[in-house]
Amino acid sequence: MNEKVDFTAIPAEILADIRKRAKVEWPDDREWQEDFITVETKGYAAFQAMDFSEAALVRDDIITQAMECFESWEERASHAETEIDAYAEIAMTAPNDIPADVINKMKQDIATEADWFAMQLDSLRGAIDGYRYVRDIREKVGPIRELLVRMEGIIGKECYNGNIQNYSSWGEWEGEGRSFRYPVTFIQNGAEVKRRTSYSDLAHEELVTGYYKFGANELSIYRALMQIIDMLETEYGFVRPEARD
């Protein structure tokens, strides 16, 4: 059932090590030992025949990583193949909708984050998605920012708590219940900030994170308002500010 393997093409010390590990891995199963030997010798052959032409500049780095991080030849070959493909994709990535200097800066930054190119590729994809998200949000929110803030302000001021006990400055009780301005929580620089007024320092992509926090619950008020504007535009003929003459 096992495929034929040309053991003469495998150095004696490599083959001996593979057979030794097969006995350790499957001490009481001869058939599994043979399967292990077949897989590992094929992995060794694949690793030795690996085409590094698309990653010639980092060939030694990839080989070193594979040898240091994996004991199995199958895993080493798989790792090398993945790294070669990732390196080539990073090098070729140049989206038409993102300026070249921005992409180059992304590539420089991800190169400092991880040694493995597969991980760098994931980071690059995330950076590209993040850039597009911020760009698109800024284009969408910019013209309607003032409208969003005014709408939220109207909603936020319509909060009322009938259980609040009101007393005058001299201690005389003036009745129950009070209206108040509900605070909005935003995510700014990765941290929560609570505001009731003054949003001018918030970037467009930070403004749209604004939400009302009700204990363990949250209401994404700014995203909801954006959906309302989309609905008004689609169903009721609302014209966004950027579309006005």
Q: Which has the closest alpha carbon to 156: 95, 224, 88, 92?
A: 224
pLDDT (0 to 100) of residue 37: 92
pLDDT (0 to 100) of residue 41: 93
What contacts 226, CB < 8 A, 6 or more positions away?
140, 141, 144, 148, 208
Q: Which has the closest alpha carbon to 179: 201, 157, 203, 163?
A: 157
Strand partners, 35: none
* Spatial separation of the C-alpha atoms in residues 43 and 112, rounded to whole Å: 30
Regions of the chain with pLDDT less than 70: 1-7, 162-178, 242-245
Q: pLDDT for 103-131, tens place per residue? A: 999 999 999 988 999 999 999 999 999 99
Sign of CA dihedral 88, 92, 95, 98: positive
Q: Which has the closest alpha carbon to 83: 109, 41, 47, 108?
A: 47
- Contact (CB, 8 A) for 187 and 206: yes
pLDDT (0 to 100) of residue 180: 78
- What is the pTM for the complete model shown? 0.77
Q: pLDDT for 184-210, tens place per residue? A: 999 999 899 999 888 999 999 999 999
